[in-house]
Amino acid sequence: MIFTLAQLSDVHLGPLPRGAIWRDFSPKRIIGGASWLFNRQHMHVPEIAAALRADIMAARPDHIALTGDLVNIAAPAEFPRAAQWLQDFAPPADLSFIPGNHDTYVPVYWERGLKVLEPWMKGDMTVANAVISPLLATPFPYVRLRRNVALIGLSTAVPQSLRKAGGSLGPGQIAAMAHLLRQLRERGYYRAVMIHHPPLPGQNSPRKALTDAEAFTEVLIAEGAELVLHGHNHRAMNTPLAGRHGPVPVIGVPSASMVEGGVRDPAAWNRYTIERRDGRWHTEVSVRRWHAASASLVDADSFQL
């Protein structure tokens, strides 16, 4: 049986709502808002994100993984609009979202922030020792079981100091992940892990890195995973990790709204075609990339994992 999974990331949905920079004052939000007005709004184009969303919808994958950074400065007014963007994309049963650092850019309590996105972040399997917080009052990690595929959502979204854009899992999520990966492997599931920050040491500068990448990598090596999906770096990445049970593919995608010709890769999404044959998992990756001249998404690459 074939299962198709689409991955997109880092939508950075614009434009910023009117007054979002100044309302609920925060020095970091002012800096982020200025960065948006003078720089980022020219790189992250809503029309590109809409075209990419439509391209995924036309492909009709079995499930969609959105690996973080749906909003920009975590202004309360950004979240209802983000929820509507997801509602117009896919129902919660068909799309799994995890937050990124921009989704918790500054501390915003659950009721005024991420709560409206909760339907896309709720698992359907009880996870022992899952973690909640005042900003993220739905448990992480979460697991969604879709046929023979287990989608595992992690949160690295922790508010950072003024100049940082890193993230952290914390010991609770890492311990829960070790148990989950082992349990799901023993039950025969294909394990697709969703995490915003690149999870391996050295994949980012200290300012933007996952603080506990070494501890998480040890879990991946020991317990394995069939696929690890991330965003954050706004570029296509494919970094295989040698695990005790076989290779662990660690795949990142560019921003879903990024223009062509900039310093980062243009917008793209990945389609993973997952199949079990001859007692082994097989994954084929197809890349669809933004092409400015035709104002559309086009076939860009394909490879086997």
pLDDT, tens digit (0-9, with 9 covering 90-100), for 159-194: 988 788 899 999 999 999 999 999 999 999 999 999
Q: Are 155 and 113 in contact (CB under 8 A)?
A: no
Q: How would you label 171-182 residue by residue, b for 16+ Cβ within 10 Å and e otherwise?
A: eebbbbbbebbe
Dihedral of the alpha carbons of 270, 271, 275, 281, in degrees to the nearest 10: 0
What does the pLDDT look like over 3-38, one tens digit per residue? 999 999 999 999 988 877 777 768 888 877 778 878
How many domains does the chain divide into? 1
222: CATH: 3.60.21.10
For residue 110, give its domain range: 2-304
pLDDT classification of 242: cutoffs 50, 70, 90: very high
Q: Record the pTM.
A: 0.95
DSSP assignment of 209-241 equals SBTTHHHHHHHHHHH--SEEEE-SSSS-EEEEE
Rounded mean pLDDT, 217-228:
98
Strand-pair partners of 95: 64
State residue 146's pLDDT score. 96
- Work out whether the CA dihedral 197, 201, 202, 207 comes out positive or negative: positive
Rounded mean pLDDT, 187-202:
97
State residue 289's pLDDT score. 98
What does the pLDDT look like over 66-106, one tens digit per residue? 999 999 999 999 999 999 999 999 999 999 999 999 999 99
